[in-house]
Structure 1
Amino acid sequence: MKKVFVKNSSGVLKKVLMCRPTFLKAVPINEIARKWQDVGLDVEIMEKEHRELVKAFEDNGVEVVMVEADSRRGNSVFSRDFGGCIREGYILGRFKEPVRFLERDVYEEKMKELNIPKVAECKNGLFEGGDFTFLDNDTLAIGIVERSNEEGIEEIRKSLSKYGYKVIEVPCDKKYLHLDLCFNLVDEKLAVAYRDGLPETFLKVLDEKGIATISITEECVFKHGCNLQSIGDKRVISLKSNGYVNEELRKRGFKVIELDITEILKAGGGPHCMTFPLSRL
């Protein structure tokens, strides 16, 4: 029997790939980081925040594998972005921003070390994992926002067609950077979403699949209101500052693990961005 890696976006998370924020800076490559580029980030605070995220995973039975931090690729802390993991293996993306180019080879080598096969690769187009989500076991949604494009999605679609996946494009305004700033599945039939930032065609798909949403405002988009990390069995890692969403999740029977992360967020990514799932069943 072939090994199954990641079946969906909200099942029980078993193993993740991460990288410490030792060399992270607010590089002005997204709307959030531009506001902090002249201020600088406190490394000691970021390291503490990251340790607390790692501990939250480990306390909930999730194994954490680390990629070594390097001064030449400070944004590696946002491990989500190098690709996406599915049942059969992983998709290797292609970065748009030169500051992130070195990450691709490092993460590809790490996946070889972990014996996770590469089943698709963007060689000409662009694709980053912040734009990637399952809608169900056989339907993948990929955002066309700032860092992924139609050419990259078409490369993925062709490579994955033999496995029976349907790939849906989700175009959004570039200012939202990645799909996971506007949409994040937290349970099989529940997502947190900025509905006004999503196309009507995608909202219709959600309705057809019976996926309900907890809606946030545009202001919350840039405060990482959608950037939660589901770990399965109605458990979600969220930001302490994400009060409204956290309360709505609790009303629906979720255990919300709140983390006081503020400094890392200034570079443009939250808990979801910092987490690349390696095993989710």
Structure 2
Amino acid sequence: MGSFQPNCWSEHEELKVVMLCAPSKLDVPDLTIAENVGWDATVNHVKAMDNFMGFKTTLENAGVKVIDYSEELSTDVKTVSEQLINRYFVRDLACVIGNSIFHGVAGSSLRRPEYPHAHSLLEKWFPEKNLKVTQPSTALECGDVLILNKDAILINIGMRTTLEAVESIKDRIFQEGFSEIAIIDLPRRSDTLHLDMNCNVTSANLLIAKNFMRYFPVHVLTAQTNRFEMTEQFLNHHGFDIYWLEKYNTIPDINFINLNPETLLISKQATKQHWTKHRLLQKKNLIEIDVTELEKGGGGIRCMTLPLLRK
């Protein structure tokens, strides 16, 4: 893995290297089990694997180097990993901010084993790049972290990420060169679990968001000061228009990923009208993929991807 160095300064620049993980080998065969593990529906492993392979191939065909970390695990670790049903939601495990890798900390005991599995590999591949949360008994799931641009980051706290964790890493984020971190505390429900289930960056100057977010303030931190702003005010300040969605299907409509400034990878189940109503989206190149079986686990395309290098 030494042929590149981690680098991410936005959500929209050209994606060059991404980490994925194949789904576990277990089915979720009935609704009772699905409910108890926090999933939306039953899942068939064979169908999920078909979705995953199509997803991986699409990324590779777009020129993205794909690292499936399940293929890199030692034999003893694989025995456990192959039974972890959420392991393909790699976004939460870590995030590259600037030139450093910030390790996530699980906010759910069900997901806790995945984190050291992935972190041990990241430490092996990039020994000088890894940073850990120093505050004990905290949680940091990186689906709550959105890199707006080289100046600003938006982070959600609450259900799976704590304020203490953000405070633990904020100084290092500023050292990377970012000047502002905005902290938002969104409703704590399954459909608002992480920040990327509520908003996402579509380009350098447009963010798509559920319309209720306009009512939420953000606490803006700099290296020396702090202040409060409304979400829209903060985003406008950093050059973003906001496309407010009044109606949405949370996972497929919000949880997409930018392959480059012109191209979005979206779910087959996404509401197509969203991409024709806003003038800044009408010329986007949209690549649709079928991740229907994988989305039943309660996450979407962004949740399944951990960008390691964007240019």
Pairwise same-fold verdict (TM > 0.5): yes
Taking the TM superposition and a 5 Å limit, the aligned residue runs for 1:143-162 are 143-162=156-175
Pair 1:118 & 2:130 matched: yes
Pair 1:216 & 2:245 matched? yes
Where do 5+ consecutive residues of structure 2 fail to align?
29-33, 71-77, 218-229
Whichever residue aligns with residue 212 of structure 1, its letter is: D
Seen in structure 2, the aligned counterparts of structure 1 residues 186 and 219 have a Cα distance that, compared at 3 Å, is closer
Q: 1:184 aligns with which of 197, 200, 219?
A: 200
1:265 alignment partner in structure 2:
295
Residue pair 1:80, 1:273 contacting (<8 A) in 2 also: yes
Matched, 1:170 2:184: yes
CA shift for structure 1 position 260: 2.1
Query: Residues 245 and 102 from structure 1, CA distance in 2 versus in 1: closer, same or farther, beyond 3 angstroms?
Result: same
Q: Out of 260, 264, 269, which is 1:236 matched to?
A: 264
Give the match for residue 108 of structure 2: 97
- Letter in structure 2 aligned against 1:44: V
**CA offsets 1:204-255 (integer angstroms, 9 cap, x no match):** 111222212333235422x431101111131000012212233347853110
Indicate whether 1:196 and 2:247 are aligned: no
Moved over 6 A (4+): none
TM-aligned CA distance change 1:268 to 1:163, over 3 Å: same
Q: 1:133 to 1:259 in 2, by over 3 A?
A: same
Q: Which residue does 1:19 correspond to in 2? A: 21
Cα deviation digits, residues 143-201 of structure 1 (max 9, x gap): 11410111111111133232332221111001100000111112111122113135242
Letter in 1 for 2:237: E
d(CA) in 2 for partners of 1:72 and 1:179?
27
How many residues are paired up? 273
- The alpha-carbon distance between structure 1 residues 122 and 16, as it changes in their structure 2 partners (threshold 3 A), is farther
Question: What is the TM-score with the length of structure 2 in the denominator?
Answer: 0.81
SS of residue paired to 1:105: helix
Tell me, yes or no, if the aligned pair for 1:88 and 1:119 is still in contact at 8 Å. Answer: no
Q: Where does residue 85 of structure 1 map in the other structure?
A: 96
In 2, Cα distance between equivalents of 1:17 and 1:253: 28
Query: Counterparts of 1:157 and 1:85 in 2: how far apart (Å)?
Result: 14
Q: Distance in 2 between matches of 1:4 and 1:145?
A: 28
Q: Which has the larger radius of gyration?
A: 2
**Deviation for aligned residue 1:269:** 0.6
- Equivalence for 1:74: 85
Secondary structure in 1 aligned to 2:139? coil
Q: How far apart are the structure 2 equivalents of 1:245 and 1:169?
A: 27
Please report the RMSD computed on the Cα atoms of aligned residues, expressed in angstroms: 2.2
**Cα displacement (A) at 1:139:** 1.1
Output the CA distance in 2 between the equivalents of 1:79 and 1:19. 7
Contact 1:185 1:192 in 2 (8 A): yes
**Aligned counterpart for 1:226 among listed residues 254, 258, 261:** 254
Query: Per the alignment, do residues 28 and 229 of structure 1 end up closer, same or farther by CA in structure 2, a change over 3 Å counting?
Result: farther
Partners of 1:190 and 1:28 in 2: how far apart?
37
Specify the code of the residue in structure 2 equivalent to 1:237: L
Measure the CA separation in 2 of the matches of 1:55 and 1:157. 36
Q: 1:50 to 1:3 in 2, by over 3 A?
A: closer
- Partner Cα distance (2:36, 2:119) in 1: 25
Q: Distance in 1 between matches of 2:125 and 2:211?
A: 37
TM-score by length of 1: 0.89
Q: Percent of pairs identical after alignment?
A: 21
Q: Aligned partners of 2:154, 2:162: CA distance in 1, in Å?
A: 13
